[in-house]
Amino acid sequence: MQHALKSSKRYRDKSWDFQKADTKQYTHCFHSYPAMMIPQVAGRIIDEFCKSKGLLFDPYCGTGTSLVEANIRGIDAIGTDINPLARLIAKVKTTIIPLKLLDSYLIDFNDFIFASRFNGIKLDFKIPHFENINYWFKKDTQRMLVIIKEYIEKIDDKDIQDFFKIAFSETIRESSLTRNGEFKLYRISEKQIEKFNPDVFSIMVRKLIRNRNGMAEYISLKNNDAKSHIYDFNTVYGIPKNVLLPESVDIVITSPPYGDSRTTVAYGQFSRLSNQWLGFEEYNEVDKRSMGGVKKGEFIRFDYVPLDKTLQKIAAKDDKRVYDVISFYTDYERSIANISRVVKEGGIVAYVVGNRRVKGIEIPNDEITREFFERNGFIHIKTIVREIPNKRMPKKNSPTNIVGITDTTMNCEYIVVLRKM
């Protein structure tokens, strides 16, 4: 067992920064989401390591960045994610909708909005009953959101309905009383609330037009029959054989969570309001079901000195906080073991990870990822270090929970590439 940081084949490459790249091309523009892998990274990995048509698997697919990039190149893809909103977005981003059909619905929706504004359409408004709805939405906003929701629920074409739902999801968040730019739920100030009167209908129309244009770009690029299939299984607990057989995957490209949701990126919090309005019953379970979501009660050693020493340092500063980190890496190791089994001999895995800090101590996540895969029969090809210019995630956190005292979390990410022997 290696007991030192493995620094060979790890190097900085500015060409992977994509500082000026348009990360919102084609269907990638559809919906914001925390910690999204930029499409240029996924695309370049595919171009370098998956030249022939095969099968791509993304075990934490989020909104489907790698799936879109695979399909554009004629490669079939499978993704899974525990967040129902992420799965919905990924599904819509990878589903071709004929523009003539889509445009007919957009025209009808515009007519509906015009009538709602000026003719006073009478609807039996059924405001959803969920916790704190009045805390997050003004009454007039609720009324306009219900009008849009009523329209969407009457759409008879499932793909069109889902297309409208993800525009509605962003409209929900943008018209809520949450702070802009936050991935956790924080309310704006009372002074801001007084002046905040969003034009919900205009926001929805703007999102639909943007997404329609993105779909047009996607159609112009995707001239093949490649498909994506999205599932909800959690790789910590296994991979269903009816979805992926052992040694059936040519390449894995993913950006996994960098730590437990409670203290890093709270995907469940970011998605909660949308999930509630859309009626996803598991809206409150996303963060609990994520890696490290259930805290382990014992101090575990991983037989990898860099990780074990890091845990000891964190424990010396906070003997409770360390269990969040232990819980995450226990699940992370299990997930990697299950993913390793479905990769073909000679297959590639590429994990885009960040080295976060806990209590001021950096966790060598790229080296831990490499170690866990090497335990499952992989050899390390390279680790590329790139700056994070656009990724939507926190670059600072509060290690002490004292207001004003912050610490850098991560400004770089690491593309860890390995091959199965």
Q: Are 419 and 381 in contact (CB under 8 A)?
A: yes
Q: What is the pLDDT of residue 183?
A: 72
Q: Are 57 and 47 in contact (CB under 8 A)?
A: no
Q: What is the pLDDT of residue 1?
A: 42
Instruction: Give the number of residues written for the chain.
Output: 421
Q: What is the pLDDT of residue 407?
A: 41
Nearest residue to 238 via CA among 328, 334, 376, 327: 334
CA quadruple 106, 109, 114, 115: dihedral sign? positive
- Extended beta strands in 152-207, E state: none
Q: pTM for the whole thing?
A: 0.91
CATH of domain 10-75+227-261+282-420: 3.40.50.150
List pLDDT tens digits, range 166-220.
Answer: 999 999 999 999 997 777 789 999 999 999 999 999 999 999 999 999 999 999 9
Spell out the residues 6+ positions from residue 216 whose beta carbon is closer than 8 angstroms to its own.
99
User: What percent of the chain has a predicted confidence (pLDDT) above 90?
Assistant: 72
List pLDDT tens digits, range 67-81.
Answer: 999 999 999 999 999
List pLDDT tens digits, range 269-309.
Answer: 888 899 999 988 766 677 777 888 887 778 889 999 999 99
Is pLDDT at 376 greater than 70 in this prediction? yes
263 pLDDT band, cuts 50/70/90, is low
Provide the token pair at 128: 């959803």
- CA–CA dist 56, 378 (Å, integer): 17
- CA–CA dist 414, 120 (Å, integer): 54
Q: What average pLDDT does the segment 45-59 reach?
A: 91
Q: What average pLDDT does the segment 122-129 reach?
A: 71
- 293 or 414, greater pLDDT: 414
Q: What is the pLDDT of residue 270?
A: 84
Is pLDDT at 3 greater than 90 in this prediction? no
List pLDDT tens digits, range 339-355.
Answer: 999 999 999 999 999 99
Q: What is the pLDDT of residue 326?
A: 94
Provide the token pair at 54: 């095969």
Q: Are 245 and 336 in contact (CB under 8 A)?
A: no
Which sequence spans correspond to the domains of the chain? 10-75+227-261+282-420, 99-220
- CA–CA dist 35, 176 (Å, integer): 21
- Taking CA atoms, 97 is separated from 29, 94, 101, 215, 219, in Å, by 16, 10, 7, 8, 8
